[in-house]
Structure 1
């Protein structure tokens, strides 16, 4: 009973910040000492599989870590996006991040995670799990972005189609995103 009360207290008192959504189509770095985790998920119906792409970058726009993962489960589009966020939360925790901006291209999921709307029955358990896990971080922000600003995660989610399981990169630029990353950095430098 006491454990349940503690969990309920933590869940009701943990603050998640929701930054304003901008119309800029370029990726914006987080402020130091924060890290930004971009997330995407996709369904490969023909393979009866889904995949997750995660890119972690710092204030200097450098890739700190990345993951491309295939999940051999049949999920719908909303469920795979929720699963992608859950995987990204675990990945961010596993690599030791504390101040994190989680950025995805699903307004529905951002709304569910910030309690702005009630999650669909199909994802309510995953959302509950995510909310509990987010409490472990020192600070969390949740942001919605347009797909154009989530390009690197989208490339990694597509790359997962060729995988049997998953691959991670730590302090290394994944080959599948090197060209897009270079373009992003050059675009930023021209401002």
Structure 2
């Protein structure tokens, strides 16, 4: 479906007419996701007008897809889900290192943990960690503590160019927000932002759980077994199969 405006659009009226014609051509099966993405693009544009840095288009689209899936899940009768291709882990560019993190939290005990996996552009395992925390207030705090452990590994390994990936939209937004964080976790968030800025290069990205499965395994293991452990070069047995599936070309 081509959504590129024609070259003869010169004013708002031309753009509006093109938009209406384009929407009329959208298939019924694609209308929900189309309107959701347009709505979130409009929200991002309004926030940009207020001085906030506009979100990456990829994040805007993924957020719209996730919210639409949640909306479909609560409908009765349940409609057909929007088909989304399973996202896989993808290696970083040459010389860059990708660090995946995930948090786990037990509501009953309020215990939490984090999982960290460090890999290079060939998908090779460089380091990993399970990080248990005895008491955390919520799942987001577990995600943040996992990022904190990840940055400790980044400094220990003396990494310079890092892609930090996690599957928590709120934490990604906070780490990318240029202004001061005002949440209860603001101290840790601001500390992480400063550590990221000190690197030669950094990117903080949101990914789906399917592209973050290795870190998820370690996070769950850290919480369930109350485990704090770090591995270098040789990964633990529990993630060997997942690492192999993530290798480029598999």
TM-score, length of structure 2 as denominator length? 0.63
- Report if the CA contact (8 A) 1:35-1:100 is conserved: yes
- Number of equivalent positions: 172
Residue 139 (1) aligns with residue 201 (2): yes
- Matching residue within 166, 169, 185 for 2:231: 169
Query: Where does residue 222 of structure 2 map in the other structure?
Result: 160
TM-score, length of structure 1 as denominator length? 0.81
Deviation at 1:149, TM superposition (A): 0.3
Residue 71 (1) aligns with residue 71 (2): no
Q: What secondary structure does 1:46 align onto?
A: coil
Cα distance change, pair 138–54 in 1 and its aligned pair in 2 (3 A): same
Q: What secondary structure does 2:88 align onto?
A: coil
Query: Where does residue 39 of structure 1 map in the other structure?
Result: 101
Q: What secondary structure does 1:189 align onto?
A: coil
* Distance of 2:241 and 2:219 partners within structure 1: 16
- Matching residue within 111, 133, 144 for 1:82: 144
Q: What whole-Å deviation, never above 9, does each CA across 1:50-92 have from its counterpart, x for those lacking one?
A: 1000000101011110001111122211121122112211221
Return the structure number with greater relative CO, CA threshold 8 A, min gap 6: 1
Q: What whole-Å deviation, never above 9, does each CA across 1:32-51 have from its counterpart, x for those lacking one?
A: 10000000001123343110
Higher Cα radius of gyration:
2
* Distance of 1:85 and 1:114 partners within structure 2: 13
Q: Which runs of 5+ in 1 are unaligned?
A: 1-17
Kindly indicate which of the two structures has a greater share of residues assigned to strand.
Answer: 1
